């Protein structure tokens, strides 16, 4: 029986939050529909952050309300704090994600809290989400390295993962926020994570800063991970983390996993149309490593 890989598309949030161009709500909906047409069913749709700090996502409530209410689709919204959670709940969110950086420095830069404060806030939001019937995801950012403090000790990472899981998080996303990990680190961390929490609770979130995103994803898959974040056309990057360039491209992961025999439920050629839509809207959207080759084929989608 073919094993399934779940792709969580984060381009609508992580991909757009750092772009100099601000897409209209209608443009975001058009991009969403091209991704859905390709077979993507899991989306990190937006973030209820301060519009002053991240104007690209100022339409979070409106955009979320306009998305199709289809039980086959899963939407999560990134939540920076309890106020953000209240806004998401008022907008009808059914799934949330909290982000907890593994270091003091990145928490201060990202959300203006200490590591202790941020951990406590994330625990409260996750517990409340579960009490109120929402799906809850917890990111541990800078899981391998921090732009301000260097390498992240695995001990610290797993202490935070344990706390988020104890709080009730349905899914734990281990995030290589600045693309600093190497395959050996990824193998060790994800094997331990799968042993502790099993594959239904562990997700991988990679950035392609050094061109290793796909290799790291494959290493995580070999360790047993079956849930991956990615961003169409490789868009992304954290505005508060120097060196956090684009996420691993959805089209790169889908091509790789489809090609080796995993089932993603996503049509690679249809994804090329989504890459084209993103490129039209955002001049910086060049696409993943696979795109030049894919475009050169006579049968490639335009």
User: Among all residues, which ones are annotated catalytic?
Assistant: 238
d(CA 100, CA 102): 6
Please report where in the chains the tokens 């601000």 appear, as a residue.
22
Q: Give the pair of three-digit tokens for residue 236.
A: 């992304």
Closest CA to 48 of 123, 117, 116, 125: 125
d(CA 169, CA 196): 14
What is the DSSP-derived secondary structure letter of residue 200?
G
Q: Give the pair of three-digit tokens for residue 224.
A: 């047993």
Crossing angle of helices 183-197 and 154-167, in 10° steps, is: 30
Please report where in the chains the tokens 């508060």 appear, as a residue.
240
d(CA 265, CA 301): 18
What is the DSSP-derived secondary structure letter of residue 247?
B
What is the DSSP-derived secondary structure letter of residue 246?
P
Closest CA to 149 of 182, 101, 194: 101
């Amino acid at each position: 029986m073919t094993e399934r890989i779940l792709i969580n598309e984060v381009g609508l949030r992580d991909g757009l939050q750092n772009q100099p161009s601000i897409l209209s709500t209608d443009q975001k909906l058009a991009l969403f529909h091209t991704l859905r047409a390709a077979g993507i069913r899991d989306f990190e749709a937006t973030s209820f952050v301060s519009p002053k700090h991240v104007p690209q996502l100022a339409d979070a409530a409106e955009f979320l309300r306009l998305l199709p209410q289809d039980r086959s689709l899963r939407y999560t919204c990134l939540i920076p704090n309890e106020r953000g959670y209240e806004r998401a709940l008022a907008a009808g969110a059914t799934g949330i994600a909290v982000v907890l950086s593994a270091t003091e420095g990145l928490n201060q830069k990202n959300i203006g809290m200490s590591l202790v404060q941020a951990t406590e806030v994330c625990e409260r939001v996750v517990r409340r989400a579960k009490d109120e019937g929402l799906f809850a995801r917890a990111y541990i950012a800078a899981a391998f390295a921090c732009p301000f403090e260097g390498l992240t000790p695995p001990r610290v990472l797993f202490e935070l993962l344990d706390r988020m899981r104890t709080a009730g998080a349905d899914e734990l996303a281990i995030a290589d926020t600045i693309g600093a990990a190497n395959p050996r680190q990824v193998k060790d961390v994800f094997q331990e994570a799968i042993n502790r929490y099993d594959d239904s609770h562990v997700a991988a979130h990679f950035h392609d800063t050094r061109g290793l995103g796909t290799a790291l994803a494959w290493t995580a898959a070999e360790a047993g991970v079956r849930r991956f974040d990615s961003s169409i056309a490789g868009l992304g990057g954290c505005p508060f983390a120097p060196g956090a360039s684009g996420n691993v491209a959805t089209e790169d992961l889908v091509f790789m996993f489809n090609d080796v025999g995993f089932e993603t439920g996503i049509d690679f050629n249809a994804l090329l149309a989504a890459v084209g839509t993103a490129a039209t809207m955002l001049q910086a959207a060049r696409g993943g490593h696979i795109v030049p080759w894919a475009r050169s084929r006579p049968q490639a989608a335009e």
